[in-house]
């Protein structure tokens, strides 16, 4: 017998028929003798509808009331799934975030989870009851107000609940059947990974892979929650799901569980990047702070940073920001031009960041050289480079995105 958390996203609970299908997935695990808690998102499109109503009512709205409204989508789904489970003979009860409680800070709209109390759920497992928990939400206990976790927050809810009830595994059911070496829409020969380390998944999630929310991977890594990504559209009664073998999907786990790591696990890409270059910056102590502190004060995230070697007392600094912050970044720098003393600002939004990810890089030399050689042979110019222990990122012109991804996918032997 295992203790499981099963999480179902918006497309998996988009209508009553799909909610009944989810109930069958839950029944399969109950019939196998497992203890189950379920975390659900709002039905597909409902959160956008609720957000639209709030903005139509007032653009400058109270964030606390915003949370009270948008959290209602998950409340509906959890109640409907509890009824669907009861209909097929499974004891079930819906829970809202505040009823456990899932305690959060007071950053309404993007709150962070502080703790989860799973005692009552564990107690009810003894009676065979399934807990159906509304994801995406918790409570700021000092004020008693509902707080939501930001878009995609149901993934984080599920991992937090899994940690709170000491689950053996957290199964994330989604509209794909696992984590792939890259986007299969760009590289049809991309392979589904059987296992991926927490660190690798965190890099992939933060660099463009949309399978899991970044914060959920962070929480899984911190609390060592084994997380399994699988498809909710597989027939719940399929024979392969009822055998002792591993079902189709990808296990996100500790590095120690992966016997032999590939040098490169996957290729990720992010299209929402913009490049900013500051020309003829005086090369003197404190100048970098004068450039990046105003950006930090404006809450603009800076990623890749390249500084040229000083010439005649001047240097150039190039960095990337999210494309949505491009104009704000230029405005923030223009406001402190006298403090920095730069010559000019140049920028580009038609760029993409390609990242090569793999824990195997730690023990292999020449990984970056292979990438640079392969890209040069295809005539692809690299604008900027950044590296970490398990990642190499390059910034290139957006027009070469697909060619670069396919090239690197092949170079590192990831094609199926």
Residues making up the annotated binding site for substrate are 47, 74
Place of tokens 């704000």: 328
Summarize the annotated binding site for ATP as residue ranges: 7-10, 174-175, 180, 185, 210-211
Place of tokens 């203890």: 35
CB-side neighbour CA atoms (13 Å) of 77: 32
Distance CA 312, CA 16 (A): 69
How far lies 254's CA from each of 156, 259, 356, in Å?
Answer: 18, 11, 20
Place of tokens 């911190």: 222
Q: Which two tokens stand for residue 114?
A: 């502080």
Q: Residue 23, class by beta-carbon neighbours within 10 Å (0-12 exposed, 13-18 middle, 19+ buried)?
A: buried
Distance CA 279, CA 281 (A): 6
The continuous run of DSSP H or E covering 201 comes out as helix 198-206
- HEC readout, 243-298: CCCCCCCEEEECHHHCCCCCCCCEEEEEEEEEEEEEEEEECCCCHHHHHHHHHHHC
Closest residue by Cα to residue 6 from 21, 321, 15: 21
Neighbour count for residue 227 (Cβ, 10 Å): 27
With residues binned 3-state (H G I as helix, E B as strand, rest as coil), the percentages for the chain, rounded to 5, are 40, 25, 35
Summarize the annotated binding site as residue ranges: 7-10, 47, 74, 174-175, 180, 185, 210-211
Neighbour count for residue 291 (Cβ, 10 Å): 23
């Amino acid at each position: 017998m295992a203790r499981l958390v099963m999480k179902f996203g918006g497309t998996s609970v988009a209508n009553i028929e799909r909610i009944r299908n989810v109930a069958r997935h839950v029944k399969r695990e109950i019939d196998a003798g497992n203890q189950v808690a379920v975390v659900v998102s709002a039905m597909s499109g409902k959160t956008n509808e609720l957000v639209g109503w709030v903005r139509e009512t007032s653009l400058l709205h109270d964030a606390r009331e915003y949370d009270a409204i948008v959290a209602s989508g998950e409340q509906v789904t959890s109640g409907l799934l509890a009824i669907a489970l009861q209909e097929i003979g499974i004891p079930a009860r819906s829970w809202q975030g505040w009823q456990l409680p899932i305690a959060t800070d007071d950053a309404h709209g993007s709150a962070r989870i502080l703790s989860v109390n799973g005692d009552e759920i564990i107690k009810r497992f003894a009676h065979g009851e399934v807990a159906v928990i509304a994801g995406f939400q918790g409570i700021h206990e000092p004020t008693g107000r509902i707080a939501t976790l930001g878009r995609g927050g149901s993934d984080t809810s599920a991992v937090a609940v899994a940690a709170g009830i000491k689950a053996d595994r957290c199964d994330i059911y989604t509209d794909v059947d696992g984590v792939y070496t890259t986007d299969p829409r760009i590289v049809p020969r991309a392979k589904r990974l059987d296992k991926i380390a927490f660190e690798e998944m965190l890099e992939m999630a933060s660099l463009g892979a949309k399978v899991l929310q970044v914060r959920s991977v962070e929480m899984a890594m911190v609390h060592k929650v084994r997380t399994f990504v699988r498809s909710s559209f597989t027939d719940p009664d399929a024979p392969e799901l009822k055998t002792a073998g591993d079902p189709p999907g990808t296990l996100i786990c500790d590095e120690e569980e992966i016997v032999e790591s590939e040098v490169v696990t996957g290729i990720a890409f992010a299209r929402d990047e913009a490049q900013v270059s500051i020309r003829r910056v005086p090369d003197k102590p404190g100048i970098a702070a004068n450039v990046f502190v105003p950006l930090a004060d404006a809450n603009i995230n800076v990623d890749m940073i390249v500084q040229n070697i000083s010439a005649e007392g001047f240097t150039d600094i190039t960095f990337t920001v999210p494309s949505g912050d491009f104009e704000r970044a230029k405005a923030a720098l223009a406001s402190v031009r006298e403090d920095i003393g730069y010559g000019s600002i140049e920028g580009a939004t038609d760029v993409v960041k390609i990242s090569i990810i793999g824990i195997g890089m730690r023990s292999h030399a020449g990984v970056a050289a292979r990438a640079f050689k392969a890209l040069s042979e295809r005539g692809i110019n690299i604008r900027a480079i950044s590296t970490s222990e398990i990642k190499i990122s390059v910034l290139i012109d957006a027009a070469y995105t697909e060619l670069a991804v396919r090239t690197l996918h092949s170079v590192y032997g990831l094609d199926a």
